[in-house]
Amino acid sequence: DLSSSTDDVIFYTTASATERMRLTSAGSLGIGESSPDELLHIKSSTSAKPVIKLENSGNVASGGQIHFVMSTTDESVNDIPGTIRFKGMNSANSETEYATIYVRNISITDNEEDSEMHFRTMNDGTLGSNLMIKSGNVGIGTVSNINDKLHVEGNMRVTGNLVAQEFHSEYI
């Protein structure tokens, strides 16, 4: 069934007359949510749900994709074209961001484009950047002065072999 008694368009299932989806007059779509607060708001009280499934059943080499696109004419350095946030409720029943993955543009010059990808996790109540990939280099425990292929700030434990091809006396 379809109802439009308000400015919203509401979809119900006929067997239980339960609201399943709502398109608000502001253009927000709620699936399992009657008051969507984003353009798309999907909500479920079922364990391990909701799930968004992108399936390609063709005989192809590449499957589904998610694109984060900034399509303005005012792009600049330090723009963040995409973010994935992992949130949950803490013991005070407050929505808390426990981890984040985001990308920042560090050069937008044509044919010189460059970026950095940040991986942030919560540690003792503070969300901090713990891993960053920048211009092909990796920083662990640091997000500044990453000028080597691997820059580790802090102690490191290796179980197994550590193989180095070349040693320089200033680093030993």
Q: What is the pLDDT of residue 55?
A: 86
SS3 133: strand
What is the rounded distance in angstroms from the CA atom of residue 115 to the CA atom of residue 113?
7
Q: What is the pLDDT of residue 80?
A: 93
pTM metric for this prediction: 0.78
Q: What is the pLDDT of residue 166?
A: 77
Q: What is the pLDDT of residue 4?
A: 53
Tens place of pLDDT for every residue, the chain, 172 residues?
Answer: 455 556 899 998 877 788 999 999 999 999 999 999 999 999 999 988 899 988 888 888 888 889 998 888 888 899 999 999 999 999 999 999 999 999 999 999 999 999 999 999 999 999 988 899 998 999 998 888 888 999 999 998 989 988 877 777 665 5
Largest CA distance in the chain: 78
What is the rounded distance in angstroms from the CA atom of residue 130 to the CA atom of residue 138?
11
Q: What is the pLDDT of residue 99?
A: 96
Q: What is the pLDDT of residue 169?
A: 67
Q: What is the pLDDT of residue 56?
A: 87
Q: How many CB atoms within 10 Å of residue 78?
A: 9
Tell me which residue has tokens 């005989």. Answer: 59
Could you list the beta-strand ranges (E) of the chain.
2-3, 9-13, 18-23, 29-31, 40-42, 82-89, 95-107, 114-123, 126-134, 137-140, 150-152
Q: What is the pLDDT of residue 83?
A: 95
Q: Which of 110, 115, 107 is nearest to 134 (CA)?
A: 115
Identity of residue 69: V
CB 19 within 8 A of CB 10: yes
What is the rounded distance in angstroms from the CA atom of residue 138 to the CA atom of residue 10?
48
